């Protein structure tokens, strides 16, 4: 599910949260690994850091995004799905 926002210049921006997104506590969120289609939504959160719990390398396009937005990445590779 996404949200379409009309900007002042008349262009529409689709803001789609990452899969399994929810608020844990004010200013703390959880989700599955975001994709580029989620980046406009993430910008609204003013993130300062991301904790990534998968052992696989963080996707390169996501690394580029977080670098350009001064977001710190902390990776703790945990095996398993739960």
Query: pLDDT per residue over 6-26, tens digit each?
Result: 555 666 777 999 999 999 999
Q: Would residue 13 count as lying in a domain?
A: no
Mean of the per-residue pLDDT values of the chain: 88
State the total domains in the chain: 1
**What is d(CA 79, CA 19) in angstroms, rounded to the nearest whole number?**
20
Q: Would residue 28 count as lying in a domain?
A: yes
Q: Would residue 67 count as lying in a domain?
A: yes
Q: Would residue 35 count as lying in a domain?
A: yes
Would the pLDDT of 30 be above 80? yes
Range of the domain at 42: 20-73
pTM above 0.85, yes or no: no
Q: Would residue 42 count as lying in a domain?
A: yes
C-alpha triplet 50, 6, 30: angle, nearest 5°:
20
Q: Would residue 11 count as lying in a domain?
A: no
C-alpha triplet 5, 67, 56: angle, nearest 5°:
100
**% pLDDT > 70, the chain:** 84
């Amino acid at each position: 599910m996404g949200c379409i926002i009309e900007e002042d210049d008349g262009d529409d921006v689709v803001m789609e949260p990452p899969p399994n997104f929810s608020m844990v506590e004010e200013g703390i969120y959880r989700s599955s690994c975001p994709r580029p289609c989620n980046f406009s939504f993430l910008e609204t959160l003013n993130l300062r850091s991301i904790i990534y719990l998968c052992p696989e390398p963080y996707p390169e396009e996501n690394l580029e995004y977080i670098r350009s937005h001064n977001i710190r990445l902390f990776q703790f590779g945990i095996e398993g799905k739960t």
